Amino acid sequence: MNILICLDFSEGFQKIIDEAKALAQDMASKVWLLHVAEAKPGMIPYTGSYVDYGSGFIDYGPDPKALRDQIAQKFHTEHKDLQDEAQALRNLNIKTTALLIQGSVIKTILQEAEKLSIDMIVLGSHGHGAVYNLLVGSVSEGVIKNAACPVLVVPTHDRSEQKDKSKNKT
C-alpha cells in the first residue's frame, strides 16, 4: 500500500504521524511524507511604497532581503524537520521518502497522489469552525472532495479542551 502523509508542522502534527505510522506498519506500506510550501523565496513582491503614520515615523515596509532570508530559513527548518520525521519512520523499517514541494496545497497534494499511485492520503484537520472554513477554506475538505483514493483525516485538535472551554462559558 502506498500512503501519502501530508504535514504542515502545525501544533498536533505528531498525531498524524502516529496514526499513519500504525497503518504503515500494519500494512507493510511505502510512505511519502509531503510538506507543501506556498511561499516562494525570491518571489516576494516589493512595491517600494511607504506609510506615514503622522508621528514622524515612516514605515517603508519590510526589507525585501530580510524577508527573503526569513522565508528561506523557514524552508530550511521545515526541510530538516521533514527529513527528521522520515528518518524516524525509516528507523522503524518503514520505507519512507520525504517531499518538500512549493505550490498550491490542495492541488499539489492531489497531483502527487496521482503521480505516486497513492492508495491512501493521510492528513490532519485543525477543527476550525464553519466561518473560518468559509473565509479561508479547508485543505482536508478540498482533498476529500477531489481525491481519487481514500482519505484519512486525523483530528489534530483536542476536543476535550474545546468542551472544557465551552463548559466554563456557561
* Cβ atoms of 40 and 33 closer than 8 Å: no
One-letter amino acid of 99 = L
- The pLDDT-based confidence of 57 (bands split at 50, 70, 90) is low
pLDDT at 148 over 90: yes
Handedness of CA 103, 104, 106, 110 (dihedral sign): negative
Residue 41: phi, psi to the nearest 5?
-60, 140
pLDDT tens digits, one per residue of 105-146: 999 999 999 999 999 999 988 655 555 444 445 788 899 999
90 grid coordinates: 525509516
**Among candidates 145, 141, 123, which has minimal Cα distance to 32?**
123
Instruction: With beta carbons less than 8 A apart as the criterion, state whether 34 and 124 touch.
Output: no
The answer to whether residue 150 scores a pLDDT higher than 50 is yes
Domains assigned to the chain: 2-169 (3.40.50.620)
Predicted confidence at residue 46, as pLDDT, reads 47
Q: And the C-alpha cell for 94?
A: 518503514
Instruction: Specify whether the CB–CB gap between 7 and 126 falls below 8 A.
Output: no
Q: Which one, of 160, 158, 128, 159, lies nearest residue 141 by Cα?
A: 128
Q: Distance of alpha carbon 145 from its chain centroid, rounded?
A: 18
- Split at pLDDT 50, 70, 90, the class of 75 is confident
